[in-house]
Amino acid sequence: LQRLQEGGNVLLSLRKGSLPAEAGGEVEIGFSSIFWNTSWTLGQAPHTLGILCNPAHPALSEFPTEYYSDYQWWDAMSYSSAIETAKIDKNLKPIVRVIDDWFTNRPLALLFEVKVGKGKLLVSGVDFWQNMDKRVEAKQLLYSLKKYMCSDNFKPILNVCSQSLLVL
């Protein structure tokens, strides 16, 4: 947080399983959609219906994608945590949105950006810590995010209080 207050750029990659329940830690992301809905399976995972993103967003310029989850997202979704954005700011618009099931309909993100103090923060629910030597897709996504953060295009719009990020 100090680096952000001083005007730095920060990429926060959350380790899978590190989020507390109130921040989305209980949400199980799966690559496949919910076939039998969570009402019928008593909340059995997965709890989500894939992702939505803007493939033209500059953060994804080096990560080929459509606006929905496809096979290049398999790794990212397998090593990820869904972040409940309402706990941070109700106006937060994710770069990559996780689609929650239709019973809970929580606002969830896999990737989002915000301004904090004088700095800029890119938060990733994708774990860029575990087994990176074997995860080609994760390396490419990380490359794309780093390139974006070093560019003039990295201009988060939403300003949030650093205290709201402590839930992460």
DSSP 8-class letter at 135 = -
Domain boundaries, the chain: 2-167
Specify the pTM: 0.91
**Nearest alpha carbon to residue 164 among 121, 100, 105:** 121
Mean pLDDT of 19-45: 73
Instruction: Assign 51 to helix, strand or coil.
Output: strand
Determine the Cα angle at 118 with ends 115 and 123, to 5°.
Answer: 35
pLDDT tens per residue, range 57-107:
999 999 999 999 999 999 999 999 999 999 899 999 999 999 988 888 899
pLDDT score for 36: 63
Q: Which of 35-44, 99-108, 141-150 has the lowest mean pLDDT?
A: 35-44
pLDDT tens per residue, range 129-144:
999 999 999 999 999 9
Which burial class, exposed, middle or buried, applies to 19 when counting CB atoms under 10 A from its CB (0-12, 13-18, 19+)?
A: buried
Check residue 135 and give left, alpha or beta (phi > 0: left; psi -120 to 50: alpha).
beta
